[in-house]
Chains A and B, each alone.
Chain A
């Protein structure tokens, strides 16, 4: 199979990976993290958070329809989108730092692809048995045993995938409401559609694609080499200790190394690689091979940790028999990442703290630029965009520092113009208010005068200033 270019085959069929079950430290940590991550995923939408009447009471809610993101006591508006970018930068730098310290532990332990693949493999092992049983059955002829096991496995996979998709939806709409609506057929097409979409992607990515996602689809392995260096703790086969590998008795006379060449490390690997070949693109750093090898070392009465987390520098020194340097967590690379992380955290913190919950903009009306009134005064109209992100109403006292005799009036309001007006902006809303500024006759004939709108939030007594122009005919 495959296209031929010269002598080189550019296409490689997927070699099916049948990972074997394994017990040990890494596996236990993986199970714990799997339970933790899935727990957070499913429980988070059900946490309630009181925001007062008329507001959603879901602790974490990405309300796209009404353009609000709720995160416990914080409410984000579309205007706060920069914070999301900041959050992503924060996550990226954290990933850089962790990777440069401990290798790809994100990939191996916490990445959703790993978590759900682990979950799907658990189901597979439960129904179809461990590695050898699965391989034997897949290679064998179609039989009743094979069919019912495959059907059961895929059914459970689809069931899990469905709950994954359903769980995802709950972050975007009120969880208890959508759960009831979903099962009574009253949920929106979008809810059903996205549940099916995420169920399908979960089923395909965790059930079928698995390690191919990590190897071919994910961009992270492509540039992980930029984060790793010889001081990074990675899953390493201690070749100096293991080689020459081989079967046979270790009775002190043989020249064989510790590696008994049992291939246990290869059999448990979820990406199907041989760690003894060194650092590889496919390695997600999960350390299951460490567990597998430790098990074999115990059985063959040899020292543990033939495969272990270590740095390439230390391994090189060990191989040469030199003095082994300590593991260096603090080094220029990690310090730089730490510094960038610190800056990002500080910037985010400042951004969050300085985030204004009131936003004001003053726009001069363009047509007409000014209007002459019957008493000879000049009128300019402005649109005040007042954004109130609070959960309570905010009242603004508005006046103008114009350097001329001028009076304000809200368009459509009855009563005479006055020096100051008050506008009430309802909670959690954006309002556009048209106001007139009338300059006394003869006082503002210049083509353009700089003026300042002064808006005072009467609740918190915050003064907001916005500069604007007063436009006149420009005659002397």
Chain B
């Protein structure tokens, strides 16, 4: 209990009135502004806890009187962005490629959208900037299996290649080696002939040429120039999906790899697919 509140002569302040073995303490209260701020913040805190989500429970949480939620805010932001893009994307969907490419504003939207979509969906296989990976086509090159026109690219993206889409592009290179159609020596001879198509000289290709004419020209063409309608690659190209070495060619004749690209129509809308096509087309190989 305070015994006696005195006035300190030096500082002019009151003491607390307590005394411990002759020691007295000056009464130095918190500054008023500090105290009032504390009280104000406490009141504000109670109000905040009532208005906003605050108290966790076992099967949920107290949601506050105004029903605020950060997730709802994000959803609203995303919806707002989608709404702001809707006009341009609708126009991209409705406009033929020839008109999009001659409209700088629409091209800018399509390129921006295509670039992001490519990075999110295509880049893991096709590489940044369409640089390709072993077994995955280099989209920045001008060597195409199914065609490098904008419409060709749209079809490839929409339905995929050997995907489960009914309209998927599909080609079936026969398993010449694995199914015993050609013997290993014959496969080697064909591979030599294919190499000669790309300009390799100094090898005897007469046997290979004969085998090629009998087995390959139906799809790959008389001169190995390929057929895009059936997805048969141009064998004269310096770029080949599964490699250009003799080993790679032998392997591809014996037991062909049949790469799969998913169909994207279920995941990307038509306007986005067109945007991606425009971006891919711009990488350097577009026809």
Contacts and interface: CB of A to CB of B under 8 A. Distances in A.
Given A373-B141, A374-B143, A367 B127 contact: yes
B238 A374 contact: yes
Interface stretch (A18-26, A111-119, A375-383): A375-383
Nearest to B236: A374
Interface string A362-393: 00011111011111110101000000000000
A411 B282 contact: yes
Given A374-B143, A411-B282, A368 B138 contact: yes
Given A365-B129, A381-B284, A436-B284, A371 B138 contact: yes
Interface in B106-135: 127-132
A372 B238 contact: yes
A332 interface: no
A373 B237 CA distance: 8
Nearest to A365: B129
Given A376-B238, A441-B238, A371 B140 contact: yes
A374 B239 contact: yes
Contacts of A411: 282, 284
A369 B128 CA distance: 10
A412 interface: yes
Nearest to B143: A374
Categorize the interface residue count of chain A: 10 to 19
Contact of B142 (A365, A369, A373, A412): A373
Contact of A372 (B128, B130, B138, B198): B138
B263 interface: no
B141 A372 contact: yes
Task: Classify the interface of chain A: helix, strand, loop or mixed.
Answer: loop
A379 B141 CA distance: 8
A367 B141 contact: no
Contacts of B156: none
B262 to A, nearest CB: 23
Contacts of B239: 372-374
B158 interface: no
B131 A371 contact: yes
Nearest to A412: B282
Contacts of B141: 371-374, 379
A372 B239 CA distance: 7
A371 B285 CA distance: 10
A374 B127 contact: no
B234 A374 contact: yes
A437 to B, nearest CB: 11
Query: Which of A371, A375, A441 has most chain B Cβ within 10 Å?
Result: A371
A450 B284 CA distance: 22
A371 B140 CA distance: 7
Contact of A368 (B129, B142, B198, B237): B129
A368 B143 contact: no
Nearest to A372: B239
Contacts of B138: 368, 371-372
A441 B130 CA distance: 21
B284 A371 contact: yes
Interface of B: 127-132, 138, 140-143, 198, 234, 237-239, 282, 284-285
Given A372-B238, A374-B141, 15 more contacts: A365-B129, A366-B129, A368-B132, A371-B141, A372-B143, A372-B239, A373-B141, A373-B238, A373-B239, A373-B285, A374-B143, A375-B237, A381-B284, A412-B282, A441-B238
Interface of A: 365-369, 371-377, 379, 381, 411-412, 436, 441
18 contacts: A366-B128, A366-B129, A367-B131, A368-B131, A368-B132, A369-B131, A371-B140, A371-B284, A373-B143, A373-B238, A374-B237, A375-B237, A376-B198, A379-B284, A411-B282, A411-B284, A412-B282, A441-B238
